[in-house]
Structure formats: C-alpha cells, structure tokens
Chains A and B, each alone.
Chain A
Amino acid sequence: MRVTRFRFPGAPRPRALLLAAVLLPACRGDAGELSPGGYAGVELTQPRPKPDFTLTTTDGRPFDFRRETDGYLTFLFFGYTNCPDVCPVHMANLAAALDRLPRETARDVRVVFVTTDPARDTPARIREWLDAFDPGFIGLTGTPEELSDAQVAAGLLPAMADTAAGAAYEVGHAAQVLAYTPDNLLRVQYPFGTRQSDWAHDIPLLRTRSAAREFSAGDLRVLEAVAPAPPGRGPMALYLIVVNEGAADTLVAIESDAADSAALHRQMVHGGSARMMPAGVVAIPAGGTLRLEPGGLHAMLNGPRRSFAPGDSLRVVLRFRRAGALPVVARVVSYTELETAR
C-alpha cells in the first residue's frame, strides 16, 4: 500500500495542488515503497511540533488545538466546503477508512477540518458538510487573520481566494492532510492521491508507533511511560518518570479514559509479603525526579475498558497542583520488554 499520487493528465492542475509544497522537508520511498517508518504517507525526516492555535468550533466554542487534541492521533486539514475536488475526496476517503477500522482504533483519532473560506463557510455550513462524511469530524473557523496564522503555525502557506472569479470563487490551499501522532508531533503528511487503503494502513501505525517517550507541561517532563499488557482485562500497572526542572509540585491525581478508575499505589513489604497501599498525593521536590516503577510507587488502571496488547497505546492524564493537567501516551509493552527496558 502506498500513496500513488494519481494525476489526471491534461487536466488543469487544481490550484490546491500548487500550494501543496509545504515548508517541511519530507521523504518517502519511490512509488510502491513505504517510507522508512513504514508509512504509506509522506514521512517527515524531522518531525515537527504540533502548532498552538485557538479557533472556534462549529458550535461556537473556543478550540485550543494543541490542548484538545493532546494525546490523540490527529489529522489536520485546511480546506473549504465549496472545494470541488481535493477537500471532499480527502474527507470522504479518511471517513471511509476510519469507518472500517476497529472502533477502539478510530476512537483514538481526531480529524480537524479548518476552513480557509470563512466568508462562505458559516459554522452551520461547515457542520452540515462535515456531517455528510462523519459527524465526529471537528470543524473550526475564525477570522481571516486567525486562520492565516493557524496555517502558518502548521507550516503551510496561507490559502488564497481567487475572488476575481466572482461569487463562485475557488480557494487555493494546501492539499495535504497533516498527521500528528499522540506525542504531538507532525510525522507524516498525506497529499492528494492518498487512498482509503493507505489511510487504513497508516492509522494503526500512527496511533501506536509514536516514537515519543517524552511529554511536558511547564517545568515537568514525563519520560518512559509504559504499561505492561495484563492477561485479559485485569488491572494494568503504569510506570513512568517525572522530571521536575522547576519549583516543587505535587502529583494529585491520575486519570485515564482507558479504564474505569486510576490511582497511585505504593508497594510495601511487611513480614516478607508485598502489599499494595493507596499512595494519595505525591510531592515532587524542585529539581527532583519522581519514579513510578515496579516494586515501588506506581499507578494502577483498574477495569480497563478493552483488552490491551503490546504495541497498543493508552492515554492518561497526570494532574499536578502547579503545572495542571499533563496528558501522556503510554506504550503498552510485554512484561519481557519491560524487564529488558529496565
């Protein structure tokens, strides 16, 4: 499977394609080959951070792109609802691929469509258009300046409307979908020509093959978040390292939408037998390190909502008194891999 970049010879090249060249260096194999990372899409040689912008959803709510898609595999696309070719084809193929993937895979994916034609794309129009593909797709709009800034922040050339063509004008815009892995990095992009089978091939990889091992909020960095796969749907342990490069903070809670409940535990040994005790809140001194590890302080995810296997990932949110919420994507590993890693 691969992106074959189909072209229609003899056809006027859509303006959308003229702006397809992004400011990002990318690499992929020749036609018929996957990228070095095994993707059908165009893999970036140097991943780029997720842009930070806030726009408005179709129901009028502010949408902090970075925060609200944190920890999710996120596809970002800038287009417009009157687009005759690239936009509907991308949205339709992405929706069709997601529809055929396992529900738990699709659940971890966010598709964000940002209009490049705010004059005609009212929130209601965007919502109606997106609903035709998938009601779960997120539609965003804003002022022309906000939308232009968002495109630049994403590393794209801002779209340009050909208003000389009258009311039925077209908008030249970037034709690729940007894929941000759960670690908030842009790793792969999908030009026009991406087929449903390409999406279906890459989405599970993008969702679980996040190479990132580091998540941060303020002065806190979380490293090496792993959860050994339990047999069946038994409780899951979660191990990680929190590095505090600022003032003292306190880990007050841990949450996860992958399990019914999550809590911090400390393993205590009394009279030769190990017991698990609730740990409550845990202080992290200024410049200190907190380790959640086997045999000591660790987190437990009780009642996983599905079976997890090595290679999967799960999303947890660590809540700190000072730094606030810090979403983390933990890799699900085998116990053998856990032993090897440590």
Chain B
Amino acid sequence: MSWWCSATGQAWEWTWRAYPGVWLFVLALAAGYWRVIRVGGPAERRRAVRLGGTGLLLVWLLLDWPIGTLGAGYLVSVHALQFLGLAFIAPPLLLAGVPGTRWARLARSAGPAGTLRVLTHPLLTGVLFNFIVLTTHLPMVVDPLMARQAGAFLIDLAWLGGGLLFWWPIVAPVPARTGGALAKIGYLFAGTLFHTAIGMWLLLSRWPVYEVYELAPPIGGRSVLVDQGIAGGFMELLGGVIIIGSIAVLFFRWAGREAAEARAEP
C-alpha cells in the first residue's frame, strides 16, 4: 500500500486505492483549522465551515484517488489541475474562512503578529511563491520527485504552503498593510508571471517536457503532447480566470468604496 500518490509505472486501473498519508494529512489540516475557527461566533463559524470546509474538501479531492493518482503518474493535465487547485483555489478559501475574531486576536498578540508581518510581506511571499512555482515545474525536479512518494508529497505541500503564503497579503487582514487595492492588483499580476510562462511553455513545447508523463502507461487514448497542451491551457485559462477574477473583485470593491466615500462627502 502507498501512503501518498506518486508515479509507479503501473498500468492505470479504475480500482480504488487507499492513501492513508493523504487522509492523515487532510485530517491534521482539518484539526488545525478547527482550532483556528472555533473562536468565532455561530455566524463566523458557519462562514468558516462553508469556505474553509470547501477548501479542505478540495485539498482532499486533489490529493486522493483518483485525481491524486492520475496527476502524480499519468496525466500532466491533471497534475496542472492539482497545481491550480492547491496553489490558487484552496489557500484563499482557507484564509477567507478564518473568523474575524481570530484575526483580531492575532493582531493583538505582539509576538505572532510581528513574525507574520515579516513572513507575509508581499515582496517575500511573491518571490517565494514564484520560486516554488518555478522549481516545482522544472523537469529536473518534477521527474525524480514525482516517482517517489516523499517527493510527490513535497511538491503537493510546496504548492499548498506556497499558495497560503501568496494569498495571505490579499485575503488576510492581519497584518494590516498600506497600499490598498491597487497594490494588491499589482501583486497578483506580478505574482503569477512564472505560472503564465510555464503554461505557455507546456502549450507550445514541441516535445513532451516531463519524462515521468511521457513514459507513463498511456491512458485515455490521447497523446502525451496533446495532454501537455491541455495542461498548458489549464494553466493559462483557469489560472488566468482565477487571477483576473480576483483582480476584478479587488477592483470593484475598491471602486465601490471610492464611490461610497464620494457619496458620503457633503
């Protein structure tokens, strides 16, 4: 039995497989998240369960059979979906679900707030996230890591952790920063340059980029190169929709606030 999804070289079968490592990881994440959200009132908790629960469910679905197995060792397009889900969708949901009460407590505690101010500085998180995105898509990193359970776990963890860091300055109210919506829009745009470039690379590459997927037992009847093109398309289109959608939300919120302030002025 495997504890984490990795490339095995075995022919694909629609037979359920257990990955206890995934269950333990998701359970640990859920337990930790519960500790974070239990401080809020009923309304806050409902919101936390709705948003955070969706994020946790997404993490579990992306890491467990069959998506986890397919993405780890068979289809690079599914691997791209995992990346988008773990780095671009689940983290903002988890962060958005944290109750305001928890953020307020965090803001009051001098020690953690100070550390967070450094760790979640947009410059650092933007650089770190792009570094993670770049390195976890290099063939020399992906090919050896995906063939090992610990390596595949490392990549999944890096995406989720990098995503939490990246989205923190956008979603989390603590630590409070100056700059406003326009700075956040600029941050989002700059923060996704590598992911866009990688998507384009997958889309336009003349040969399969990753050995692990090129030599995987075929599945679904489509060629490795076509699947790689789909992966690139996902990175460009879905990634683009998420980022542009986020930018649009930030912009319209900012515009709404500006309009409200203008109306409030005598």
Contacts and interface: CB of A to CB of B under 8 A. Distances in A.
Interface of A: 4, 6-12, 14, 84-85, 88-89, 92-93, 96, 100, 132, 192-193, 195-197, 200
Prevailing SS type, chain A contact patch: loop
Prevailing SS type, chain B contact patch: loop
A7 B207 CA distance: 20
B10 to A, nearest CB: 6
Contact of B224 (A8, A11, A92, A100): A92
A195 B8 contact: no
Interface stretch (B76-84, B129-137, B181-189, B212-220): B212-220
A89 B211 contact: no
Nearest to B73: A8
Interface stretch (B17-25, B92-100, B141-149, B191-199): B141-149
B10 A10 contact: no
B221 A6 contact: no
Contact of A12 (B10, B207, B216, B224): B10
Interface of B: 2, 6-11, 73, 143, 147-149, 206-208, 211-212, 214-218, 221, 223-225
A6 B148 contact: no
Contacts of A92: 218, 223-224
Given A92-B218, A96-B225, A193-B215, A11 B10 contact: yes
A88 B218 contact: yes
B223 A85 contact: no
Could you say which of A6, A100, A195, A200 has the most chain B C-beta atoms within 10 Å of its C-beta?
A6
Contact of B206 (A12, A14, A89, A100): A100
Nearest to A13: B9
Contact of A9 (B147, B208, B214, B216): B147
B99 to A, nearest CB: 42
B145 to A, nearest CB: 11
A76 B211 CA distance: 23
A92 B208 CA distance: 12
A197 B9 CA distance: 20
A196 B208 contact: yes
Contacts of A195: 207-208, 211, 214-215
Nearest to B151: A9
B206 to A, nearest CB: 7
Nearest to A10: B8
Nearest to B211: A6
A88 B223 CA distance: 11
22 contacts: A6-B147, A8-B8, A8-B147, A9-B147, A10-B6, A10-B149, A11-B8, A12-B10, A14-B9, A84-B217, A85-B10, A85-B11, A88-B218, A89-B215, A89-B216, A89-B218, A132-B221, A192-B215, A193-B215, A195-B208, A197-B207, A200-B207
Given A10-B8, A84-B10, A89-B214, 17 more contacts: A6-B211, A6-B212, A8-B73, A9-B147, A10-B2, A11-B10, A89-B217, A89-B218, A93-B224, A96-B224, A100-B206, A193-B215, A195-B211, A195-B214, A195-B215, A196-B214, A197-B207
